[in-house]
Chains A and B, each alone.
Chain A
């Protein structure tokens, strides 16, 4: 379908929004690199024209020579500025979820094998506020970490990552808009730790022994990220059976329900915030917890995957319908 590709390439929106998002590497080529004079460049052009008029008027040969040298230099820098982006291959790595108001860390792999040195590449998101400037040595592959501010919970699309460059003279700005399909998950902002979760347990388990790991050993299960290191069955690991966690009866007795309904005095965002805080704290203390929010109930469990599952639900709560 060549003609469609061609007409698609003429779409003016590409200029500002870039192409449709892609999952794998983006190759910077003639198709997606743009270049225009910067503001400094336009100002320079005005200065050059004034100088040329002066040279014509005084019929001053060295004046002509200087004007033509500077004019030719600015033409040559178009090539050099463009070359800074040309034939780069950029891949976005996996992005770890963060809590709202923390910075996202976005790993990029920039493949410059066989390419020249790139200088002063600038990366920024339309409202990310933290531009990063990187040099990339010739013939290397570089891993860089971008940071991006987060403002609201939910799935954040990493649209319109702009890679731009003005090197060497700043007269021209070349740029490309990179759209990756990768999204970042932003958990709700955890509330301050001054409210304790309700102590009652709906499942009817009474208070058990306090203190961790002091109960009766009940068995082994697969290790979940977040399990206490003290509970890892090291002998099994040494035998090559993989990571196993020891289970103790005493822990199961303390089971927590984090319930949306227990916070009637707060609005829904504040409730999400509070529930997030409780999830984080419960996870940190190794307590099994369940979560109830309107429409969903998660049975108590512990471990990293459980935590992520809960936090994800909190992050996306009420947003899926809106989209």
Chain B
């Protein structure tokens, strides 16, 4: 075993390895373990090689590693295309390339692939964090580019080299920012994709699911992530009216409620809704990788690229994979399908063997209350008066979920109440369906928008009564506050004033903490509105607020060109600004004097003193004798005098200014 001499990490490869490591980091947790491990070990390998502790692999080993990792990728993803597999492949190629850096070109390839990987990572995450991380990575990659174009820094130790190049990269970035903003705001945005994208199986959807199973998931998560943010045109309606409609679950299998997937349902137009005062608002929806959009009940408009199903679910044609902004109009008082119901049998079906005890209970009550309204009230009273408890941690229900909940456990959250209520309605012959979505919302006190969180998720019931149409009933709301076991849910039921009273009771620490949370949230909101959600519509509205309506793409390009040129002009003036010379005015003026004489063929040699230079000039040019002599004497005096008078300096500079030697030849 040959012992290798260890050495210090050279600055250029050090910065490059650091950049590659930064490129890989955010992907490491997302990728399969073997890819993450391989990437990290390739970086470490190169590091060990550069510090003289390991040899590089030969050509055949490299080829083998390349083929093996391609095979591994194919085994993991069963494709090499698409954003997930594609970005994993790029990452592996990048790290493999580290083992064969031969010259400048390989470095350039590594840096450019890194930029490419950076941009693919935005397909997965566009948060503020990833924007900030982008800046850090660009800084580091620029440093690598600088160090590879500057041989002097390459010879320095890593830390000072990094400081120097990163400083320069930072100032370059600062100068590029105004141009970037111009481009971002004014570059013509196209409304749709250039070519249709393949529908990929979406990884990890968040938020609501398209089925509910009351007995299964025993704990409701306390997820405070933001589902969407709402900006109302007018003061928002009260909490009790904020029902954000999402997926509608009409199919009951006995344990689960499912979304009715009926492609034959016609797209409804909204004439069926009888109107009250319209409420206008804009929703900025966080991506959840499903099709549905949320809207206040009942929606009166349909956003672009979306449609409304028969059961009034608002669906987008493509899954919501990016932050999506849409304007909506809602009618809080409405009457829907008052005189007719389509597919009535869907909303009445309950599987035969399900809930035998509930059946008997419903039949008994139904005999007592034949009229629909009174029957419904009696059921709600049952919930209100019996010992039903609202909890986020209900017991698991292993038997018949409806019977077990209604007659033995009596502990549950919205899904349990909605499910058992809807089943009872159906058994009594009243068409019913479950609507899931969000209820309520919290105004950001530091700004003017409402935050709706995942923890606001809710489920309620819609009944159809002849002549009245579909009515919303929220069985959970009848449980009295004394039997609610979760403070946050209790709070949600209250109006804003009692909420404020509750907040007053909090200590200064939790108060400032919640203030910080709201500040952070409004930053996120701005980020969503101005960065992620900035699109063709937003661009048009920005321009029309500046007084330019309906610009064609050519006019927009022209505007961009003009704005870009003007900013570039200012940056150029900044970059080429004259520096104040460290040389004092005397020396500067003397340099000017030498320059004038060099025009006559007398170039001052670096080793020549002012006296020698003057002698040389005078020898050949008697006509300049007096002026050259005075200037030189003045110069020597001013340069070596302890405190030269400013009058003399002025005189000296004036003399040089008026010194115009004639060219003889």
Q: Does B195 contact A (CB under 8 A)?
A: yes
Given contacts A43-B108, A58-B193, A114-B583, contact A73 B172 (CB under 8 A): yes
Given contacts A25-B598, A69-B138, contact A43 B575 (CB under 8 A): no
Return B614 CB to nearest CB of chain A, in Å. Answer: 18
Interface of B is mostly: helix
Q: How many A-B residue pairs have CB under 8 A?
A: 168
Interface string of B144-175 (1 = CB under 8 A from A): 01101111100000000000000010001101
Q: Say yes or no: A170 contacts B187, CB within 8 Å.
A: no
Return B197 CB to nearest CB of chain A, in Å. Answer: 7
The 3 A-B residue pairs whose C-beta atoms are closest, nearest first, are A72-B179, A72-B176, A68-B183
Q: Does B601 contact A (CB under 8 A)?
A: yes
Bound state CA distance, A133 and B148, in angstroms?
13
Q: Say yes or no: A62 contacts B130, CB within 8 Å.
A: yes
Return A234 CB to nearest CB of chain B, in Å. Answer: 26
The contact of B184 among A43, A64, A91, A138, by CB within 8 Å, is A64
Q: Say yes or no: B532 contacts A62, CB within 8 Å.
A: yes
Q: Say yes or no: A61 contacts B534, CB within 8 Å.
A: yes
Q: Say yes or no: A56 contacts B194, CB within 8 Å.
A: yes
Interface string of B24-56 (1 = CB under 8 A from A): 000000000000000000000000000000000
Q: Does B576 contact A (CB under 8 A)?
A: yes
Q: Does A66 contact B (CB under 8 A)?
A: yes
Closest A residue to B578 by CB, please name it.
Answer: A114
Q: Does B588 contact A (CB under 8 A)?
A: yes
Closest A residue to B125 by CB, please name it.
Answer: A62
Bound state CA distance, A105 and B322, in angstroms?
64
Q: Which of B175, B571, B587 has the most CB of A within 10 A?
A: B175
Give the interface segment out of B2-10, B113-121, B400-408.
B113-121
Bound state CA distance, A168 and B175, in angstroms?
14
Q: Does A120 contact B (CB under 8 A)?
A: yes
Q: Say yes or no: A56 contacts B190, CB within 8 Å.
A: yes
Bound state CA distance, A199 and B345, in angstroms?
131
Closest B residue to A44 by CB, please name it.
Answer: B112
Chain A residues with CB under 8 Å of B578's CB are 114
Bound state CA distance, A56 and B118, in angstroms?
16
Q: Does B503 contact A (CB under 8 A)?
A: no
Bound state CA distance, A25 and B597, in angstroms?
11
Interface string of A89-129 (1 = CB under 8 A from B): 10101000000000000000101011110011000000000
Chain A residues with CB under 8 Å of B126's CB are 60-62
Interface string of B619-652 (1 = CB under 8 A from A): 0000000000000000000000000000000000
Can you list 7 residue pairs at the A/B interface with Cβ under 8 Å? A51-B115, A58-B123, A60-B123, A62-B126, A114-B588, A169-B142, A170-B145
Chain B residues with CB under 8 Å of A80's CB are 172, 575
Q: Does B224 contact A (CB under 8 A)?
A: no
Q: Which residues of chain A from 139 to 174 have any CB-CB distance to chain B below 8 Å in the complex?
A: 139, 141, 143, 166-170
Chain A residues with CB under 8 Å of B122's CB are 60, 62-63, 66
Bound state CA distance, A91 and B595, in angstroms?
12
Bound state CA distance, A198 and B646, in angstroms?
73
Bound state CA distance, A61 and B189, in angstroms?
10
Q: Say yes or no: B183 contacts A72, CB within 8 Å.
A: yes
Q: Does B207 contact A (CB under 8 A)?
A: no
Chain B residues with CB under 8 Å of A25's CB are 595, 598, 603
Closest B residue to A109 by CB, please name it.
Answer: B606
Given contacts A59-B322, A70-B138, A168-B150, contact A115 B579 (CB under 8 A): yes
Return B588 CB to nearest CB of chain A, in Å. Answer: 7
Interface string of A49-93 (1 = CB under 8 A from B): 011011111111111111111111101110110010010010101
Chain A residues with CB under 8 Å of B582's CB are 138-139
Q: Which residues of chain B from 562 to 614 have any CB-CB distance to chain A below 8 Å in the complex?
A: 568, 571-572, 575-576, 578-579, 581-583, 587-588, 591, 595, 598-599, 601, 603, 605-606
Q: Say yes or no: B576 contacts A83, CB within 8 Å.
A: yes
Given contacts A60-B119, A60-B126, 15 further A-B contacts (CB under 8 A): A25-B598, A43-B108, A44-B112, A53-B194, A59-B535, A60-B322, A61-B532, A61-B535, A65-B131, A66-B122, A75-B176, A80-B172, A109-B606, A113-B588, A116-B579
Bound state CA distance, A50 and B117, in angstroms?
12
Q: Say yes or no: A119 contacts B197, CB within 8 Å.
A: no
Bound state CA distance, A29 and B348, in angstroms?
87
Chain B residues with CB under 8 Å of A170's CB are 108, 145, 148-149
The contact of A23 among B118, B131, B184, B601, by CB within 8 Å, is B601
Chain A residues with CB under 8 Å of B575's CB are 76, 79-80, 83
Q: Does B441 contact A (CB under 8 A)?
A: no
Bound state CA distance, A272 and B151, in angstroms?
42
The contact of B175 among A56, A76, A133, by CB within 8 Å, is A76
Q: Say yes or no: B152 contacts A119, CB within 8 Å.
A: yes
Q: Which residues of chain B from 502 to 554 have any CB-CB distance to chain A below 8 Å in the complex?
A: 531-535
Closest B residue to A86 by CB, please name it.
Answer: B576
Return B85 CB to nearest CB of chain A, in Å. Answer: 16
Chain A residues with CB under 8 Å of B177's CB are 69, 72
Given contacts A58-B197, A133-B151, contact A47 B601 (CB under 8 A): no
Bound state CA distance, A54 and B121, in angstroms?
12
Return A71 CB to nearest CB of chain B, in Å. Answer: 7
Given contacts A68-B187, A73-B172, contact A113 B572 (CB under 8 A): no
Bound state CA distance, A58 and B122, in angstroms?
10
Return B274 CB to nearest CB of chain A, in Å. Answer: 37
Return A289 CB to nearest CB of chain B, in Å. Answer: 34
Q: Does B484 contact A (CB under 8 A)?
A: no
Bound state CA distance, A61 and B533, in angstroms?
7
Bound state CA distance, A86 and B118, in angstroms?
35
Q: Say yes or no: A120 contacts B150, CB within 8 Å.
A: yes
Bound state CA distance, A24 and B134, in angstroms?
50
Q: Say yes or no: A51 contacts B193, CB within 8 Å.
A: no
Closest B residue to A122 by CB, please name it.
Answer: B151
Bound state CA distance, A65 and B137, in angstroms?
14
Bound state CA distance, A23 and B120, in angstroms?
56
Bound state CA distance, A40 and B606, in angstroms?
38
Q: Say yes or no: A166 contacts B176, CB within 8 Å.
A: no
Closest A residue to B575 by CB, please name it.
Answer: A79
Chain A residues with CB under 8 Å of B605's CB are 93
Q: Does A135 contact B (CB under 8 A)?
A: yes
Return A33 CB to nearest CB of chain B, in Å. Answer: 13
Q: Say yes or no: B197 contacts A167, CB within 8 Å.
A: no
Chain B residues with CB under 8 Å of A133's CB are 151
Q: Say yes or no: A65 contacts B180, CB within 8 Å.
A: yes
Q: Say yes or no: B581 contacts A168, CB within 8 Å.
A: no
Closest A residue to B153 by CB, please name it.
Answer: A119
Chain A residues with CB under 8 Å of B598's CB are 24-25
Return A124 CB to nearest CB of chain B, in Å. Answer: 14
Chain A residues with CB under 8 Å of B148's CB are 170
Bound state CA distance, A86 and B151, in angstroms?
21
Closest B residue to A52 by CB, please name it.
Answer: B187
Bound state CA distance, A143 and B595, in angstroms?
17
Chain B residues with CB under 8 Å of A167's CB are 146, 149-150
Chain A residues with CB under 8 Å of B118's CB are 66
Bound state CA distance, A113 and B587, in angstroms?
10
Return B124 CB to nearest CB of chain A, in Å. Answer: 10
Closest A residue to B148 by CB, please name it.
Answer: A170
Bound state CA distance, A70 and B173, in angstroms?
9
Given contacts A60-B126, A62-B130, contact A76 B149 (CB under 8 A): no
Return B102 CB to nearest CB of chain A, in Å. Answer: 16
Q: Which residues of chain A from 216 to 271 have any CB-CB distance to chain B below 8 Å in the complex?
A: none
Q: Say yes or no: B176 contacts A76, CB within 8 Å.
A: yes
Q: Which residues of chain A from 11 to 37 have any CB-CB distance to chain B below 8 Å in the complex?
A: 23-25
Q: Say yes or no: B116 contacts A47, CB within 8 Å.
A: yes
Chain A residues with CB under 8 Å of B531's CB are 61-62, 65
Chain A residues with CB under 8 Å of B190's CB are 56
Return A91 CB to nearest CB of chain B, in Å. Answer: 6
Chain B residues with CB under 8 Å of A139's CB are 579, 581-583
Chain A residues with CB under 8 Å of B588's CB are 113-114
Given contacts A58-B197, A62-B532, A115-B579, contact A68 B116 (CB under 8 A): no
Q: Say yes or no: B322 contacts A169, CB within 8 Å.
A: no
Bound state CA distance, A166 and B151, in angstroms?
11
